[in-house]
């Protein structure tokens, strides 16, 4: 775990875990991820059953879009909660959060 991950997770000795931007929708996110997991299992079944390549690719596209949509929602929550909170605090924390969000966006764009 990196220092930033430890700081963000509250994993330092004697601190409570941080409340993240997605916390209030955690159950909805888990439900959505389980649905995506089912799509991936469906892909495995399609390959196992020797389904036509194009049909599998169509399902791959749907799974990819579902993950991208989830990532964008999580990013929005991060901006609204974590970045906005850092902006209120000011100082170097806002610069760090904006840089962190920018790097996350760059990773999403590479996929």
Q: Tell me 28's DSSP state.
A: H
Q: Are 43 and 63 in contact (CB under 8 A)?
A: yes
pLDDT of residue 16: 56
- DSSP labels, 30-60: HHHHHHHHHHHHHHHHHHHTT--HHHHHHHH
List all residues 6 or more positions away from 75 whose beta carbon is below 8 Å from its beta carbon. 101, 104, 105, 108
**Region 71-94 average pLDDT:** 90
pLDDT tier at 6, thresholds 50, 70, 90: very low
Q: How many CB atoms lie within 10 A of CB 26?
A: 10
Q: What is the pTM of this model?
A: 0.73
**Region 80-91 average pLDDT:** 89
């Amino acid at each position: 775990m990196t220092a930033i991950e430890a700081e963000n997770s509250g994993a330092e000795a004697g601190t409570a875990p941080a409340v993240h931007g997605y916390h209030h929708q955690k159950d909805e996110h888990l439900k959505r991820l389980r649905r995506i997991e089912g799509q991936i299992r469906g892909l495995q079944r399609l390959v196992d059953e020797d389904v036509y390549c194009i049909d599998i690719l169509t399902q791959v596209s749907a799974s990819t879009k579902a993950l991208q949509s989830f990532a964008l929602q999580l990013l929005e929550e991060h901006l609204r909660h974590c970045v906005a909170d850092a902006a209120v605090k000011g100082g170097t924390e806002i610069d760090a959060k904006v840089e962190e969000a920018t790097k996350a966006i760059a990773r999403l764009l590479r996929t």
